């Protein structure tokens, strides 16, 4: 019995060591993102300009903005989920506090999560079917007056379905 307990303890220690080594390696793993201009057209008539990275593959969507320490005020990331669906996200391994815009297949913002908390495992739910999520620095939504009903426009949101 003691031999089994010792083997389990050694196996657990080896697994813990593996994850201690693997997580930093994952953080340094190179995943490339293309960039594009993105506009937010507000119901009040303002046009807001951003440059966003595009997360359109499963690996890109899984990585997102994790491990980033800084992001320009006019920068962000757009997640393209190909087909409208209810989306859930979280902030684990995300250092930056973020505002999240959940938009349908027309680019219309349907839900907003402001000031998502870094490192949180709390689920952030789109509440409705969406095709896109845009992440911006926390506080941008309030500062610029972005609201549900406003519209995001970019090459990603205007491309024709395959």
The string of pLDDT tens digits covering residues 66-96 is 999 999 999 999 999 999 999 999 999 999 9
Specify the pLDDT at position 158: 92
Q: State which H helix or E strand residue 26 sits in.
A: helix 2-28
Verify that 95 and 15 share a domain, yes or no.
no
Residues in the chain: 162
Q: Find out whether 162 and 127 touch, Cβ atoms under 8 Å.
A: no
39 — pLDDT class (breaks 50, 70, 90)? very high
Verify that 139 and 153 share a domain, yes or no.
yes
Euclidean distance between CA atoms 136 and 129, whole angstroms: 20
Verify that 37 and 23 share a domain, yes or no.
no
Verify that 13 and 57 share a domain, yes or no.
no
Euclidean distance between CA atoms 53 and 43, whole angstroms: 25
Residue span of the structural domain in which 2 resides: 1-30
Verify that 72 and 97 share a domain, yes or no.
yes
What pTM did the predictor assign?
0.81
**How high is the mean pLDDT of the chain?**
87
Residue 157, Cα to own-chain centre: how many angstroms?
Answer: 16
């Amino acid at each position: 019995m003691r031999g089994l307990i010792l083997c389990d303890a050694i196996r657990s220690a080896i697994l813990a060591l593996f994850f201690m080594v693997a997580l930093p390696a994952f953080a340094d793993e190179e995943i490339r993102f293309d960039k594009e201009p993105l506009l937010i057209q507000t119901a009040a008539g303002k046009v807001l300009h951003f440059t966003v990275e595009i997360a359109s593959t499963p690996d890109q969507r899984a990585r997102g903005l994790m491990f980033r320490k800084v992001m320009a005020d006019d920068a962000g990331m757009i997640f393209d989920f190909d087909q409208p669906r209810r989306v859930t996200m979280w902030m684990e391994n995300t250092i930056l506090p973020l505002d999240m815009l959940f938009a349908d297949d027309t680019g219309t913002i349907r839900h907003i999560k402001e000031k998502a908390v870094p490192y949180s495992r709390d689920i952030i739910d789109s509440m409705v079917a969406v095709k896109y999520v845009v992440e911006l620095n926390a506080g941008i939504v309030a500062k610029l007056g972005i609201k549900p009903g406003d519209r995001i426009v970019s090459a990603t949101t205007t491309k024709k379905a395959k």
